[in-house]
Amino acid sequence: MALSVDTIKALVTPSTVHRSVYTDQAVFDLEMERIFGKVWLYVAHESQLRKAGDFVRTRLGTHDYLVTRDEHGQFNVLQNRCTHRGATLCNEHQGNTSRMVCGYHQWMFDLQGTLRGVPHRQSYPAGFDMASPRNSLARAPRVDSYRGFIFASLSESGPSLADFLGPMRGAIDNLVDRSPAGQLELSDTAFRLEFRANWKMHHENANDTIHPGVVHSSSVMTARQHQAEPTPFDDGQTREMLQGNAFSKKEWEGIELVALPGGHSYMDGIYRSRLLARKESDPVRDEYEAIMKQAYGEERASQILNLDRFNNLVYPNLSINAQYHQLRMVYPVAPDRTLVVSRCFRLVGAPEQIYHRAVRFLTNLSSPASMIYGDDAAIFERCNTGLSGSDDEAWIDMSRGAELDKPFPGGGTISAATEAPIRSQFKAWLGYMTDGAHA
């Protein structure tokens, strides 16, 4: 069933969303076409693609893609599907190769996706042209990168990557700047977690400051009841993270939520409100700060280290935590299935222990055994069960803070305890879904 513009518009009001937006296959298919089939999507980091022939496997929407670095240093985003019989060409997560050879009949493609060889060439009809686009791997027409973060768009036209990112460039800038050398290395290890609920649940949860006190109360109470002194084993980092969700009313009111055009959002002021504050005695941090001051000068270094943006959500598929050097990609699989892939960065030039902390942060937050994220996923699945089992009178509410939001300079809103990030996501969603143009 094709969904008309009027039908789609009727699914979202300024403060509510119809359940089918989370559960309906036709809505999901249209999202893959009009959102994931058009906007800039993060596909890889340059540190994964240093040499000619390096490739990584990624996804654009529900489709399997490869990002290759060719002999000219250009990045190509190619569909991972042989144009002969449809088999996947690369079956590893990453690697290096000069040619991609299909395991079925040895059709051979170069790093730009052009067909370079077929067996039994003499048997093909005279009109068979290896250089024809029909025989080349389908490629994303637009590929661009911002400070090492590679994005692709399946649309020929649309806003530039820089315009699409807008103020979210600040999150990438800050992450890169936190390396004294201005360079990041992405971890080889990735955690891949699937939850049985709609992809949008993840984003709506990301910058919601009310749920942690409820959803994460088991880990908060665990940390509070834990009497033992922190051991040098992890410098108390795990307990600190578990307790980091213990928002008192005053503390969460100190965290402002910035909701931006395009559905992007972030939290502002987590440090100021004491959460995740710097410890008084922290020799590792002292050493890192000294290196940063040497690299950038005192003023600039403290500017970089004190930038107080958290959970930077680049709608619709990327989340960046600059302070702890984390990256999370969100891939829709089906209306009720979502894949979340998480990795962390090494800050080139920073003390080794700074990377150990990023690794520990990734394990604590994003491993299958996370004491924090597991409860989020459980709640997403409850929402999915509730919405799937409802009649068509079911609407979700996103009105909290609607009358308290203040304008944010340059566009968007800012205020505490608000559901403005969700409202901005749906404003963007409606824009994409109804005319495909940038909202």
Partner 1 sequence: MNDITQVLGCEPSNASLVRVQQFLYCEARLLDQGRFAEWLDLFTEDAIYWIPATPGQTDPLNVPSIIYDNKDLLSMRVRRLSDPRTYQTMAPPRSTRIIGNIILDAEPGRGDALQVYSTTFVHECREEVRRLFSAQCRHVLRDTPAGLKIASKRIDLVDCDTVHSAFMSLM
Using CB under 8 A as the binding rule, whether residue 4 contacts partner 1 is answered as no
With CB under 8 A as the contact rule, the residue among 292, 344, 387, 420 that binds partner 1 is 344
Task: State the residue for tokens 């299935």.
Answer: 337
Helices (H) and strands (E) in the chain, counts: 15, 22
Using CB under 8 A as the binding rule, whether residue 404 contacts partner 1 is answered as no
Contact window for partner 1 (CB under 8 A) among 39-47, 152-160, 217-225, 388-396: 217-225
Question: Of the candidates 362, 232, 359, 351, which has an alpha carbon nearest to the alpha carbon of residue 289?
Answer: 351
What's the closest the beta carbon of residue 344 comes to partner 1, in angstroms? 7
Cβ proximity to partner 1: between 151 and 195 the closer is 195
What's the closest the beta carbon of residue 188 comes to partner 1, in angstroms? 8
Using CB under 8 A as the binding rule, whether residue 268 contacts partner 1 is answered as no
The helix/strand/coil state of 275 is: coil
What's the closest the beta carbon of residue 329 comes to partner 1, in angstroms? 13
CA angle 76, 77, 83 (to 5 degrees): 105
Give Rg (Cα) of the chain: 23
Question: Of the candidates 422, 368, 428, 385, which has an alpha carbon nearest to the alpha carbon of residue 400?
Answer: 422
What's the closest the beta carbon of residue 197 comes to partner 1, in angstroms? 11
Using CB under 8 A as the binding rule, whether residue 91 contacts partner 1 is answered as no
300 HSE (CA, 13 A, CB side): 13
Contact window for partner 1 (CB under 8 A) among 42-50, 99-107, 200-208, 230-238: 230-238
What's the closest the beta carbon of residue 220 comes to partner 1, in angstroms? 9
With CB under 8 A as the contact rule, the residue among 225, 281, 299, 409 that binds partner 1 is 225
Using CB under 8 A as the binding rule, whether residue 283 contacts partner 1 is answered as no
What's the closest the beta carbon of residue 301 comes to partner 1, in angstroms? 25
- CA–CA distance, 39 with 438 (Å, rounded to integer): 8
Using CB under 8 A as the binding rule, whether residue 242 contacts partner 1 is answered as yes
Using CB under 8 A as the binding rule, whether residue 411 contacts partner 1 is answered as no
310: β partners: 267
The bridge status of strand 54-60 relative to strand 94-96 is antiparallel
Cβ proximity to partner 1: between 207 and 342 the closer is 342
- CA distances for 208 relative to 164, 249, 408, 423, angstroms: 23, 14, 18, 12
Amino acid letter at 316?
Answer: P
Cβ proximity to partner 1: between 301 and 377 the closer is 377
Cβ proximity to partner 1: between 339 and 394 the closer is 339
Using CB under 8 A as the binding rule, whether residue 409 contacts partner 1 is answered as no
What's the closest the beta carbon of residue 92 comes to partner 1, in angstroms? 12
- Residue 393, classified by CB atoms within 10 Å of its CB into exposed (0-12), middle (13-18) or buried (19+), is exposed
What b/e string do you get for 220-244 counting C-beta neighbours within 10 Å, with b at 16 or more? beebeeeeeeeeeebbebbbbbbbb
Residue-by-residue DSSP string for 42-90:
EEEEGGG--STTEEEEEEETTEEEEEEE-TTS-EEEEESS-TTT---S-
Contact window for partner 1 (CB under 8 A) among 60-68, 84-92, 258-266, 352-360: 352-360
By CB under 8 A, what part of segment 353-392 binds partner 1?
355-356, 359, 362-363, 367-371, 373-379, 382
Using CB under 8 A as the binding rule, whether residue 226 contacts partner 1 is answered as yes
**14 CB neighbour count, 10 Å cutoff:** 10
By CB under 8 A, what part of segment 322-341 binds partner 1?
339
Site map 180..199 versus partner 1, x via CB under 8 A: -------xxx-xxxxxx---
Cβ proximity to partner 1: between 143 and 344 the closer is 344
* E strand intervals along 232-273: 256-259, 265-268
What's the closest the beta carbon of residue 328 comes to partner 1, in angstroms? 13
Q: Where is 17: in which H helix or E strand? A: strand 16-18
Q: What is the dihedral of CA 381, 382, 383, 384, to 10 degrees?
A: 50
With CB under 8 A as the contact rule, the residue among 25, 132, 231, 306 that binds partner 1 is 231
Under 8 Å between Cβ of 423 and 259: yes
Residues binding partner 1 (CB under 8 A): 187-189, 191-196, 215, 217-219, 221-223, 225-226, 228, 231, 233-234, 238-239, 242, 339, 344, 352, 355-356, 359, 362-363, 367-371, 373-379, 382
